[in-house]
Amino acid sequence: IAVNTRLRDALNKRQKSYAVVEQIGDIFLETAPHFHPFVSYGAHQLYGKYEFEKEKSANPAFARFVEETERRPESRKLELNGYLTKPTTRLARYPLLLEAVLKHTPEDNPDKTALPKVVEVVREFLKAVNSETGKAENRFNLLQLDQQLVFRPGEQVVSYASLF
């Protein structure tokens, strides 16, 4: 939230200061290096979805809340758990958006050099998100398997947690 708020506030301030916004690359160059929370969030997204579904199936009041919320006009018929993916999908859209802006940017504009740098920074974060998400998914799957293992009396038990 803090990273997105800083970016939003800087873009809003720029927009209010000028009738035509000439550049945004400087704002993104200042903000994009602080996108580390996206990596952590992306890595934990699978756990969040799991806990959401688990709570929904175990807690009738929560299940009703989810159903009622999803039916509201403000939800635009979107599933509530879909909001868990919004931060990482937003990050993935930045390169597309910035490359589209770059296509319409005059050659003498500072964004012509700034935006490609921003796109590269964001792509590096996306690589990190994908890497950490893959690791988290592997850990999650191992934990699921560990919980499903059943040993007969007298067998030696080795748990996933004891391996680390």
Q: Is the pLDDT of residue 121 over 60?
A: yes
**Which amino acid appears at position 52 of this protein?**
F
Burial class (CB in 10 A: 0-12, 13-18, 19+), 43: buried
* Closest to 81 (Cα-Cα) out of 95, 96, 65: 65
Q: Residue 160: which pLDDT band, with cuts at 50, 70 and 90? A: low
C-alpha to C-alpha distance for 122 and 95, rounded to whole angstroms: 7
Taking only the tens place, the pLDDT of each residue in 49-105 is: 999 999 999 999 999 999 999 999 998 878 888 888 888 889 999 999 999 999 999
Q: What six digits make up the tokens of 124?
A: 């590096």
Average pLDDT over residues 123-147: 91
Q: Based on C-alpha coordinates, what's the Rg of the chain? A: 22
